[in-house]
Amino acid sequence: MRQGGQTKVVDACKTVNAEAKPLNNLNEMLKKIILTAKHCGIPVSDNIAENVAVNYRATNRFGLCRKTPRGFEIEVTYRLIDADEKSCMTVLAHEALHTCSGCMNHKKLWKSYAEIMNKALGLNITNTSSCVGLGVEDISKVR
């Protein structure tokens, strides 16, 4: 929802200002990732939505790449609010790589692209990430 020039994310319980750092830079981070990938010869899609969505209900995943009729949408969990820029970049790059043809999984091709991006941006893109690795609080319930 857009109000007064500021982006707000609304869920059933609350309205949260999405301009908190580092989430306010997500769109710019995604642009940098896409440009870097293309510079490295990684065929990320030309049809990635320019606005990263922030999901305030996702607790068991850090990001999601969704194929839509118009291309791809990338979303991240609100839990990245407490993460540093490198962690946000890692999640965004992970999801952007899923836009490459044949990379909606974490098989050999996706892993080869992840390694290229790791070297180019100094990240640690893997097929899974942990709360500790991304610097976010583990809110999972102990069984």
Per residue in 4-32, pLDDT tens? 333 333 333 233 444 445 566 999 999 99
Q: pLDDT at position 140, please?
A: 74
Q: 86, 94, 98: which is closest to 134 by C-alpha?
A: 86
The token duo for 43 is 């065929």
Q: At what angle do helices 108-121 and 85-97 cross, to 10 degrees?
A: 150
What tens digit of pLDDT does each residue of 36-56 get? 999 999 999 999 999 999 999
| pTM to 2 decimal places | 0.82
Q: What is the pLDDT of residues 97-130, one digit of tens each?
A: 999 999 999 999 999 999 999 999 999 999 988 8
